[in-house]
């Protein structure tokens, strides 16, 4: 089972050399799923037979010298929001029980083309709305919230029941489970990764992207996923960069910004703030310039994002609410009802305010020549499920407060990457977030890698889960 | 969720929510009415934050392209 401790890059190297087979990796992953699922419930569906068959095919291809690249033969999970041909895709909802898509989502096609082996569909909050309680539990403490809505993807990667996974992100749904489970999660630039065949929530806020244990593994997954797709109306015809070419160049000479009023204020747990300050100090020691910036417009991000999301999601699921409303979780149903009652004028005002926010972010990056804006990914480490929705002294509950830190990147469309940066005194993961320039994932990944390579966070294993040799 | 209140502090009642639901062709289950009235009151109040901006001359985001004007388009 030590093979499960390998990163995608390490496993790929061994596969290419013939030192290990894809079938061995898949069988070890399936045994790990069996050992960890009773605790974390990361998978909605495990595809054991299909995965073994795909692994055998990958091994045959590699033996014949037809090596497809670093994802060939690698076991991955896919969020159960992504269509899989002939395989149930239920989006965490009783209202979609038994739905069998007739085609694969673009991200699934691209993973298959790259030779990756899909071992299962990972649990999502219902319809990716992020308001109900999913069965998934945090990989570091099963009593705690796993993040969402890509809950299963985050927990599975942390538990080593997948080498990497696909998530989707409309208001932080890749980055939150990444930070709360101690893995890396990337919401790419809007338009870079196709959303074709993914159950939609909001056409201009939805994104798809990777979760993995290391920055490099995220880059490898992004390389396979990125690219124009005319079947997605939001896809943008811009040639993807080489995301691994400059990973090890280092960060000296880059400039990062910190917005302390919103991102380092009283909402942030002191130990989270300390961890992010330590990241900034380390980057500065590597030759990165750290500058203070002020973006007061950030305070409006949640209002703008939610107003757009409410209208979009209710328009998307208009029929589902009327025809299958009683099958929806009451919390999801309430949000869909709410979206129907928000005036169209408010939606239109939010789309105008969105322009103001995009301009404010662009001006800040340009005037300070920023590579990235740095913040905590979430203001707190994970908490027990009931505490996530309990209002604190500030009148905020941690679940809602987290939106302020993540939804800005969904509104502006810029890339945002969450990277582990330590543990709380209770041994729970903390993450730092880097917002980048549109389509500049390569520099963002390079910056994150410069921080990551001095730390062994990716090698840390949860003591709450069975050891890998069981 | 914690939004600013409407400037007149008025809250939407469950009865009003039920009526609004009827107007948009939605039968809202009775058990949802009170929570929905609370959420809707907060959501409606939040627009006052946006109204504080001068939005009259701003083009809304209609089709979304996150690239910045001076950015190399790099298209094929």
pLDDT in tens, A123-166: 999 999 978 888 999 999 999 999 999 999 999 999 999 999 99
From chain A residues 337-366, the ones with a CB under 8 A of any chain B CB are 337-338, 340-343, 345-346, 348-356, 358, 362, 366
Q: Using CA atoms, how far apart are residues A164 and A153, in angstroms rounded to an integer?
A: 8
In the prediction, which pLDDT does A1 show? Answer: 59
Does residue B69 surpass a pLDDT of 80? no
**Which three-class secondary structure state does DSSP give residue A165?**
strand
Domain segments of chain A as ranges: 2-302+339-459
Residue A394 has pLDDT above 90, yes or no: no
Q: Which of A150, A173, A202, A462 is catalytic?
A: A173
Of A237, A396, A438, the CB nearest to B66: A438
- SS3 (DSSP) at A191: coil
Percent of chain A surpassing pLDDT 90: 92
Q: Which has more pLDDT, B71 or A417?
A: A417
Look at residue B1 in the predicted model and tell me its pLDDT.
Answer: 33
Average pLDDT over residues A17-31: 98
Spatial strand order in the sheet of A255-258 = A43-46, A117-122, A75-79, A164-169, A207-212, A184-187, A416-423, A429-436, A372-376, A255-258, A289-292
Tokens (6 digits) for A369: 């020549």
- Report, in angstroms and rounded to the nearest whole number, the Rg of chain A calculated over CA atoms: 21
Are B36 and A334 an interchain contact pair (Cβ–Cβ within 8 Å)? yes
- Nearest CA of chain B to the CA of A408: how many Å? 12
Catalytic, A149? Answer yes
Please provide the DSSP assignment of A388-438 as one string.
HTS--TTS--HHHHHHHHHHHHHHH---EEEEEEEE-TTS-EEEEEEEE-T
pLDDT at position B73, please?
62
The answer on pLDDT for A470 being more than 70 is: no
Whether A389 shows a pLDDT value over 50: the answer reads yes
Please state whether beta strands A75-79 and A117-122 pair in parallel, antiparallel, or not at all (unpaired). parallel
pLDDT in tens, A210-257: 999 999 999 999 999 999 999 999 999 999 999 999 999 999 999 999
Q: Where are the alpha helices (DSSP H) in A86-131?
A: 106-113
Interface of B with A (CB under 8 A): 1-3, 17, 20-21, 24-26, 28-29, 31-32, 35-36, 39-40, 43-44, 46-47, 49-51, 53, 55, 58-62, 64-68, 70-71, 73-76
Query: Which SS3 state, helix, strand or coil, does residue A167 take?
Result: strand
Which one of A232, A341, A397 makes the best mutation probe of the B interface by having the most chain B beta carbons within 10 Å? Answer: A341
Closest-CA distance, A96 to chain B, in angstroms, reads 20
Helix count and strand count (H, E) for chain B: 2, 0
**Across the interface, do A306 and B28 touch by the CB < 8 Å criterion?**
no
Give the residue from chain B lying closest to A356, CA to CA: B58
pLDDT value at residue B3: 38
Is A21 designated active site?
no
What would the mean pLDDT of A302-330 be, rounded to a whole number?
96
Select the more confidently predicted residue: A55 or B1.
A55
* Cβ–Cβ contact A330 with B under 8 A: yes
Q: Which CATH class is domain A2-302+339-459?
A: alpha beta
A173 is annotated as an active-site residue: yes
A188 vs B contacts (CB less than 8 Å): none
**Given A321, A353, A439, which is nearest B50 (Cβ)?**
A353
Contact between A22 and A117 under an 8 Å Cβ cutoff? The reply is: yes
- The beta strands (E) that lie in A172-267 are given as 184-187, 207-212, 255-258
Kindly report whether the global pTM for this prediction surpasses the value 0.90.
yes
| A275 touching chain B per CB within 8 A | no
């Amino acid at each position: 089972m030590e093979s499960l401790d390998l990163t995608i890059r390490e496993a790929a190297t061994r596969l290419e050399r013939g030192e290990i087979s894809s079938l061995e990796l898949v069988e070890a992953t399936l045994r790990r799923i069996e050992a960890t699922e009773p605790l974390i419930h990361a998978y909605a569906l495990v595809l054991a037979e299909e995965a073994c068959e795909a692994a055998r095919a990958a091994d045959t291809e590699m033996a014949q010298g037809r090596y497809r690249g670093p994802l060939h033969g690698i076991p991955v999970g896919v969020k159960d929001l992504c269509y899989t041909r002939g395989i149930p895709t239920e989006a965490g909802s009783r209202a979609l029980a038994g739905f069998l898509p007739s085609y694969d989502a673009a991200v699934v096609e691209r993973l298959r083309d790259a030779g990756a082996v899909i071992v299962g569909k990972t649990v999502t909050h219902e319809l990716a709305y992020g308001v109900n309680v999913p069965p998934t539990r945090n990989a570091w403490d099963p009593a705690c919230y796993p993040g969402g809505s890509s809950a299963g993807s985050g927990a599975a990667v942390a538990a080593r029941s997948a080498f990497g996974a696909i998530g989707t992100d409309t208001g932080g749904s890749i980055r939150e489970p990444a930070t709360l489970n101690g893995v890396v999660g990337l919401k790419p630039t809007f338009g870079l990764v196709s959303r074709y065949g993914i159950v939609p929530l909001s056409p201009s806020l939805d994104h798809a992207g990777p979760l993995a244990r290391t920055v490099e593994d995220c880059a490898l997954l992004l390389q396979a996923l990125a690219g124009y797709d005319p079947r997605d109306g939001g896809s943008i015809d811009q040639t993807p960069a080489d995301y691994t070419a400059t990973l090890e160049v280092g960060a000296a000479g880059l400039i990062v910004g910190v917005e302390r009023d919103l991102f380092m204020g009283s909402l942030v747990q002191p130990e989270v703030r300390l961890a992010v300050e330590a990241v900034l100090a380390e980057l500065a020691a590597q030759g990165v310039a750290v500058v203070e910036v002020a973006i007061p417009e950030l305070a409006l991000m949640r209002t703008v994002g939610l107003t757009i999301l409410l209208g979009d999601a209710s328009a998307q699921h208009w029929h589902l609410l009327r025809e299958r409303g009683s099958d929806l979780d009451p919390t999801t149903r309430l949000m869909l009802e709410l979206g129907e009652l928000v005036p169209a004028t408010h939606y239109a005002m939010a789309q105008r305010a969105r322009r103001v926010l995009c301009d404010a972010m662009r001006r800040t990056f340009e005037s300070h020549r920023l590579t990235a804006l740095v913040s905590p990914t979430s203001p707190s480490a994970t908490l027990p499920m009931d505490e996530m929705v309990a209002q604190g002294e500030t009148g905020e509950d941690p679940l809602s407060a987290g939106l302020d830190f993540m939804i800005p990147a969904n509104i502006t469309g810029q890339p945002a990457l969450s990277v582990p940066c330590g543990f709380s005194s209770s041994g729970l993961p903390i993450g730092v977030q880097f917002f980048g320039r549109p389509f500049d994932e390569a520099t963002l990944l390079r910056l994150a890698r410069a921080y990551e390579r001095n730390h062994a966070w990716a090698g840390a294993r949860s003591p709450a889960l069975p050891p890998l040799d069981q | 969720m914690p939004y600013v209140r409407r400037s007149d502090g008025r809250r939407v009642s469950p009865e009003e929510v039920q009526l609004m639901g009827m107007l948009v062709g939605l039968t809202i289950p009775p058990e949802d009415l009170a929570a929905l009235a609370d959420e809707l009151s907060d959501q409606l109040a939040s627009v006052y934050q946006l109204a504080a901006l001068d939005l009259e001359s701003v083009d809304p985001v209609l089709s979304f392209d996150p690239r910045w004007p001076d950015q190399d388009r790099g298209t094929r």
